[in-house]
Every structure is written in C-alpha cells, then in structure tokens.
Structure 1
Amino acid sequence: MEQQFPLILGSILDNDFYKITMQCAVIRLFPDIKGRYRFINRGKHPFPEGFGDELRRHVNAMANLTLSKQEKDFLSVRCPYLNPAYLDFLQGYRYDPAEVTIAQNGTELEVSVEGYWYRTILWEVPLLALISELFYKMEGMNRISNEALALRTRGKMNVFKELGVTVAEFGTRRRHSYEVQKEVLNTMMEYSAGEFVGTSNVHLAMLFDVKIIGTHAHEWFMFHGARYGYKIANAFALKSWVKVFKGDLGIALTDTYTTEVFFTQFSKQFAKLFDGVRHDSGDPLLFAEKTIAHYQRLGINPLHKSIIFSDGLNPEKVATITRACKDRIGISFGIGTNLTNDVGLQPMNIVMKLVEIAAPDMHWTPTVKLSDEPGKQTGNAGMVRLARELLEITAVEI
C-alpha cells in the first residue's frame, strides 16, 4: 500500500483573498456563467508514481471543509463590503470534488476543473498549494530547519526595514507547505517594526490577526474579454468591480491585455476612484515610469496613489524598485514564493488558469491573457492572435 500523508487543508479560508472577493462579485453579477480551469506545469516538473491518486484523496477530503461561525464573524467584521447574503452563501458552500478531474500519465499530471464559475472559482489556489506540498513530501525532499527559515526571513525583514517599505505575504499558491507559510508569517510579525502589513491568505490573517490583502486576479479581466470583447474588457471589468464594491478593494490589475492597452482605458474617473494599480509582469521600473506619467497626464498627484509590485520579487528587486520609485509614487510589495518557498529546494513553477467560459447564450469560448512578457501569456493560439489584432498589439508592449 502506498504511503498516505496527513490531510493538509484544515480551513475553507486557506485560500487567497482575491478568490473570496471575486466569488462575491461573480455571484452578484454572473451567476449563470460556467468556467473551465486547467493546471499548467510551467516548470515541467516530473511527478512521482501515485501522485495523482494521493492528490485525489486530498481533493475528496476538501468536501468536508465548512465555514465556521467564528470564521464568518471574522469576515463580517473585517470585510464589511462582503454582503451578508454572500457570507450566508459561503457558510453553506461545500467543495464538490466531482468538479475536479485528475489524471496522471507517467510523470505528467493533468488537472482540470469545470462547473459554474461562482463555485469553481475557489479551487485554483488550494489545488496549487496541495500539488506543491505533496510534491515535496512524495519526493522525500528535506527542507531547511525552522530555525534556518526564521533566520532567512529575518534577514529579508531587515532589508525591508532599512528601505522603509511595506511588504505583504502573497505566497499561498506555491508555498512549500502550510507549516512553512505559517512559520514565515510568525517571523515576519515578530521582527516587523511596521514593514509587514498583512497576508493574502484569509485563514492565516485570522490566525495571526493581521490585515487581509487582495482585490481581483487576471481571470476577472479574462472573463470580460471572452464574454464582451477585448476592446472593452478592461473598462467593463473595472465598472463591474465598482458596481459590487463601490470603491472598496481599489487596486486595479493592469497587465491582462498588456499595460499599454490598460492605460488607454484607465480614465480619469477610474484613476481617481481606484487607490492604485498592481504590477505583475514586465519591467517594473518601466511600468512605474508609465504609471507616474499616466497619473500626471490626468492631473493626479502620483504620491496620492500606489503601485503594488507583486511579480517574482526578492529583497534585491525590492531594493532596486524602491530606489527608483520612492518619494515619486506610493509603493508597496506583495512577495510570494521568495518568502514561502525559500527553503533550500527548487520552487515549483506551476499555475492554474481559467481557460474557457460559457453562458446560456454562448458556447464554450477560450479566454486569453496576454501579459507584459511572452512567457506568461496563456490561451488558445488563434484567440491570442485575434486579441492582438483587435487591440493593435504587434509585439509585447509596456
């Protein structure tokens, strides 16, 4: 009999906050949309024999996760923009393992999710976290000790302290393990003098009593592009977001169809209403220059707005960005893998994307993410070409 590992997920809130906020918005505006997600093994990691079966066991166990009264009360107090009807829904929500298909052929793993978008939207982050943690466990890879992990994390906190910047932990999706993420957060809290501002993980935010951070992800814009057209996707996605959250959760993601295109639709109204923007691909310094220039063109003081940098950050990149941007625009940093999977092993390079949507009046239609760098684009090749043609993008621009 193959070895079975203890169940990893112990809370329905062990997920990134933007999944909760987007689920709330999807229920409100798009309850009849269906979605398909697909696992993408960017790092070409070979999976050990029996991995798919073990992953299936953990996925099946997720059906038992429920929102406790304490968790519901926490969300009600900390997130007043999540309406009571949504919190009641979440209390009754159960993961349905039948929505997840898992297949292993040799060392290759295939994982997909299909169902109503308002339901399937919660699967992505916990599935990636499970795949990452099980991979290291089944391969028998030994990480550094908790003491060494704390020492590394303290060193990073010292850099952030010297730079005078604020940092949030964004590392749930590709964490080495739940234990490592918890240890990292504990150390960040213990050695922070104001630099550590919160986490994207809702469960751990509650556990450590810190701010929950997040707004929306690429799939929000990818859906709008597939449903309503690429030319209006950014503006329509932002309008939909404002319709639900009325100015709360005001950090806009820019690069789904390239930042260059985004700024053509990020009007003065949006620029004033949203608190800032998030950088997730491409050259961060060039992005900062374009963002500052855009605000200035609109007559908005960039120091009254913020950029949240979140693309593959480490202390060295944070230092470089800070030197270029400090005292020119508000800045903050969301760091993921470098915090939660810096344990002496090669971090996994895995993602899960919304690849198709359907509606009662629309057949399954592929989604597209162009990004600001070629390696991050996803989608059907024909649809990618169509999106580029319609948006008049001849090359990856920023």
Structure 2
Amino acid sequence: MVDIATRVYNHKWKIDPIVRSLIDTDFYKLLMCQSVFRNRPDTTVTFSLINRTTRIPLARLIDEGELREQLDHIRTLRLRRGESTWMRGNTFYGKRQMFTPEFMDWFEALQLPPYHLERVGDQYELTFEGKWPEVMLWEIPALAVLMELRGRAVLRDMGRFELQVLYARAMTKLWEKVERLKKIEGLRIADFGTRRRHSFLWQDWAVQAMQEGLDNAFIGTSNCLIAKNRDLEAIGTNAHELPMVYAALSETDADLARAPYDVLSDWHEEHSGNLRIILPDTFGTRGFLAHAPAWLNEWTGIRVDSGDPAAGAEMAIAWWKSRGQDPKEKLVIFSDGLDVDVIERLHAQFSGRVRVSFGWGTLLTNDFRGLVEGDALAPFSLVCKAVAANGRPTVKLSDNPEKAMGPEAEIARYKRVFGVGEQERLEVVV
C-alpha cells in the first residue's frame, strides 16, 4: 500500500501528476461521451469552472504556472493499450462491448482541446470550448486538478511527521465511517468521489478501505482507472449535462419541454434498454415526473441528486404507484451531500419500500474537516458545467435553487415551461 504522507512530502508533479490517465474520470462521462459522439457530435459547447464557495480564493492559493503545467500535462495524455483493451473487452452492467468500435477508434486518437485560463481577482476563469464530445471530457480532470492543487497548497509547509499524523487521523476518520456502515444490513454503496477528491492517491486508498471493510456491500467506483486497477465494477449512467445542452438547442417552448425526454429516448436507443436510470431534477423533479411519457414507467430506477432526498424518494414512490408499478422492484440511488448519518437515515426510511443504493461522493474522498487549523482542507463546492451550446446559454433549475445556474431571463422562462413554482433553498454541502 502506498505511503501517502511520504509521497506527498516528496512529490514532484512529473512523478505524481494529478491526472495520470484519460480514464482517470467518471464512468458516466465516457457513457455520455459515446452518446454525444453518436447523436450530437458537431454541437459546439462551452464548459466553465464555477466556484460556488467564493470565500476560497483559488487564485491566491494556487500558482498559475503550476496550474497551467498540470493542465498542459493532461493534453499530452493518450489512451493506453491496456486501457483500450479494458474498455473494448470488459463487461459493464452485464453487457459486453458497451463501447462501440467507432467510438473507441475516435477515443484512442483523442487529444483534449486547448483551454482558456485567466485570473480574475482571487478566482480563476477556466473555460473549454469546442466540439461537445471533446470538451466534455475536460470536466472531471479540471476539477481534480483544482481540488488537489488547493490541497497541495495547504500541505506544502507541513513537515514529514506532521503529514504522517494528518493522514493517520484522516484514515482513522474514514475507517470509523466504514465501521458504522458495516452495521447497515442490505447496504449497497459505491464511490462517486472523483470530481472533488483530496487526491488520486487518497481516493484510491478510500476505495481499498471500502473494499476491505464493506466486502459485497461496496459495489464499485465511478472512477474508471481505479475500477480497472482494482478489478471493480465501474459505476455510472448519465448526468445533468445532457438535458442542459439538449434544452439549450431547443428552438421553441414545445421543443424545450420535450428536451429531457429526447435525451432519454436517445439514451435508450444507445444502450439497447440497459442503464435505465432516470435523473429527473435538472428542470425540477415534480414537473418531469408529471409529464413523463409512459415508456419511462418501466425504467429501472431514479437517482435523487438535489433537494430534500427523502422528499425526492417519496415523490418517486408515489409516481411509480400512480403508473401501476411496484416501487419494491424499483431502484432509488441517493447521491447528493451524503455522509454516514444521512446514509443511515435514508436506508432505514426506505429499505424494504424500494431498492436502495448510494453514490457516496466528496465526504468519502475528501473529508479532512477538523484535521488542520481553520479547516483549511475542508471540501468546498467547485463545479465545471456546460454554460453554452451553439452560442445559447444553458440552464439548470435543480430541486434546490441554490444549485440553479443560467441567465435570470432564461431561468424564468424554464420555470414557466417546466411549471416550477416555489422551491425550498437548502445549503449546498459540497
């Protein structure tokens, strides 16, 4: 097992680059990329870094030259032979050849496109613009670089023994969480922590801890490189990016109202009926379910990713019942702001009523709260989102208005089209 503290103390970026592979990314990004490659390859999309936690002055903490060095390194990466073999030949969700030969040929030749970086006050403006299948693959590595460089800035002045004690405490903290989770009968949980992890080495350690501590209750990781290296299931389906871009391309209000369902229609065709998980909250869960076409009734489950998670699950259960479905046969995946106490509560509330699963993110792979003075390593809310498609702004409403994004006039239009009324504002944990 890697001695993380010693590695941090001795590391130079060329030995330990933050992103070391094109598949050091979330599985859903590759699945969505293939769908976009097939259905919307010529769409021009702009992604932008958004620091929701503005009290964290990233441009004062992170050296611009070091940031450019890491981003430039990512542009040198190419898919390795073993990684290609894993993608071409592995079985994902019971399906062989999840990735088509045409997509793999394209991916094997891919170099990520250029980026634009500019310091604006105490923050960085980081954007990526180009063909959708190419620029979308910047999201996860860009976030990983910013999060880890921020951590390295805090750790830089620590001595060797101070680092050893810090990581020993962090390991103990995580292991105590694992021991609590072991007591939950019927638990199903996966690592969803790539985007805002403390570091690649720490995420890899956390995954190994989950493997050993939870055995079969730990069902896999969203990180493709770790899944490959640790012989785990790669976990993931799709994200808000797809409906946000499809909606931005809509010409009329009627087209806009259909956009979330057009996404899932293309997804269904792409995966021949597999990976049938609905993410309904992009423009409001209640409206999505109320107007959902009948062919979505039979889909496997729903991912709850914003708003009150219990309320979201209850809404899904009521919807399935109204459509003549048995909720006990359906899957609810919770994936927003999770930590052990929330996992325990939601599992107790919904186990037996639906099939329950958890995608545990930032507070699995980046919980250093209380371990250094001033909580300088506490995780914060950093995202990289599609902000425009073919020159038109994207919008996300969410079930929590604190996560909404887009121009005010467009947000108002989307609320009207999707029938979104008053929403409860909830603190964005991470």
TM-score normalised to structure 1 length: 0.93
Give the residue type in structure 2 aligned to 1:283: D
The alpha carbon displacement at 1:21 in A equals: 0.6
Query: 1:275 and 2:277 equivalent?
Result: no
The answer to whether 1:42 aligns with 2:52 is yes
2:342 to 300, 307, 317: 317
* SS state at 2:182 partner: helix
Q: SS of 2:128's equivalent?
A: strand
Give the letter aligned to residue 127 of structure 2. Answer: S
Aligned match of 1:295 in 305, 311, 320?
A: 320
Residue matched to 1:329: 354
AA matched with 1:227: L
Q: How does 1:109-124 map to 2 (within 5 A)?
A: 109-124=124-139
Confirm or deny that 1:226 pairs with 2:248: yes
CA displacement, residues 222-274 of structure 1 (integer Å, 9 cap, x when unaligned) = 012111333112211111111211111221211000101110233332120x2
The offset of 1:128, in angstroms, is: 0.4
CA shift in 2, pair 1:397/1:231, >3 Å:
farther
Q: In structure 2, what is the equivalent of residue 386 of structure 1?
A: 413
Contact 2:182–2:213 (CA under 8 A) maintained in structure 1: no
CA contact (8 A) 2:61 2:150 kept: no
Deviation of residue 339 (structure 1)?
0.6
Is 1:78–2:91 an aligned residue pair?
yes
Equivalent residue, structure 2, for 1:341: 366
TM-score, length of structure 2 as denominator length = 0.87
The CA distance in 1 between the partners of 2:228 and 2:423, in whole Å, is 40
- How far apart, CA to CA, are the structure 2 residues paired with 1:206 and 1:277? 26
What amino acid maps onto 1:232 in structure 2? R
8 Å CA contact retained: 2:415, 2:421: yes
Q: Is the 8 A contact 1:161 1:193 kept in 2?
A: no
Given the superposition, is the C-alpha separation of residues 245 and 25 from structure 1 closer, same or farther in structure 2, using an over 3 Å criterion?
A: same
Please tell me whether the aligned partners of residues 255 and 262 of structure 1 are also in contact (alpha carbons under 8 angstroms): yes
Choose from 276, 284, 287 the match for 1:250. Answer: 276
Alpha-carbon shift at residue 213 of structure 1 (Å): 0.5
Match of 2:5 in 1: none
Equivalent position of 1:158 in the other structure: 179
Aligned to 1:353: 385
Q: Partners in 1 of 2:61 and 2:197 — Cα distance?
A: 22
- Measured after TM superposition, the shift of residue 147 of structure 1 is 3.5
Question: 1:276 Cα deviation (Å)?
Answer: 0.5
> 1:296–1:302: 8 Å Cα contact kept in structure 2?
yes
Cα shift at 1:157: 2.0
**Offset, 1:137:** 1.0
2:199 aligns to what? 177
1:203 and 2:213 aligned: no
Q: How does 1:357-376 map to 2 (within 5 A)?
A: 357-358=389-390, 364-376=391-403
Structure 2 unaligned spans of 5+: 1-10, 372-376, 426-430
The residue number in structure 2 matching 1:26 is 36
Secondary structure of the corresponding residue to residue 352 of structure 2: coil
Rounded to whole Å, the distance in 1 between the matches of 2:148 and 2:269 is: 38
Displacement of 1:101 in angstroms is 0.7
Quote how far apart the aligned CAs of 1:289 are.
1.0
- 218-227 vs 126-135, which deviates more? 218-227
The Cα offsets for residues 329-383 of structure 1, whole Å up to 9 and x where unpaired, read as 011000111111012321121011101001xxxxx11111000011000111111
Match for residue 87 of structure 1 among 104, 107, 116? 104
Distance in 2 separating the partners of 1:271 and 1:202: 30
- Residues 145-189 of structure 1 show CA distances to partners (whole Å, capped at 9, x for unaligned) of 443333222222222221121110011111011111011011111
Q: Give the Cα separation in 2 of the matches to 1:25 and 1:146.
A: 40
- Where 2:214 maps in the other structure, the secondary structure is coil
The residue type paired with residue 124 of structure 1 is E
Instruction: Give a deviation string over 1:256-299, Cα, whole Å, max 9, x none.
Output: 00101110233332120x21110100111111111111111111
Indicate the residue corresponding to 2:70 in structure 1: 58
Unaligned 5+ segments in structure 1 are 359-363
Code of the residue aligned with 1:57 in structure 2: it is E
Shift of 1:397: 7.4
Percent identity among equivalent residues? 32
Q: Check conservation: 1:160, 1:166, Cα contact below 8 A.
A: no
1:288 and 1:114 map into 2 onto residues whose CA distance is 36
Residue 11 and residue 42 in structure 1: after superposition, are their counterparts in 2 closer, same or farther (change >3 A)? same
Aligned mates of 2:82, 2:13 — CA distance in 1: 28
Q: Distance in 2 between matches of 1:49 and 1:306?
A: 42
C-alpha spacing 1:50/1:342, structure 2 compared with 1 (3 Å): closer
CA contact (8 A) 1:146 1:183 kept: no
Distance (Å, rounded) in 2 between the aligned partners of 1:247 and 1:50? 45
The answer for the alignment partner of 1:361 in structure 2 is: none
Deviations 1:180-224 (A, max 9, x none): 101101111111231111010000000111000111110101012
Report the Cα distance in structure 1 between the residues aligned to 2:419 and 2:302, rounded to whole angstroms: 23
- Once the two structures are TM-superposed, the CA of residue 58 in structure 1 deviates from its matched residue by 0.8
Letter in 1 for 2:57: P
Q: Is 1:67 equivalent to 2:79 in the alignment?
A: yes
Residue-pair matches, total? 388
Instruction: Determine the C-alpha separation between the residues in 1 that align with 2:63 and 2:204.
Output: 25
User: How far apart in 1 are the matches of 2:213 and 2:363?
Assistant: 17
Q: Distance in 1 between matches of 2:259 and 2:65?
A: 39
Structure 2 distance, partners of 1:397, 1:233, is 25
The more displaced of 388-397 and 347-356 is 388-397
* Cα distance between partner residues in 1 of 2:23 and 2:130: 20
Q: CA deviation at 1:49?
A: 6.0
Aligned to 2:3: none
Contact 1:259–1:397 (CA under 8 A) maintained in structure 2? no
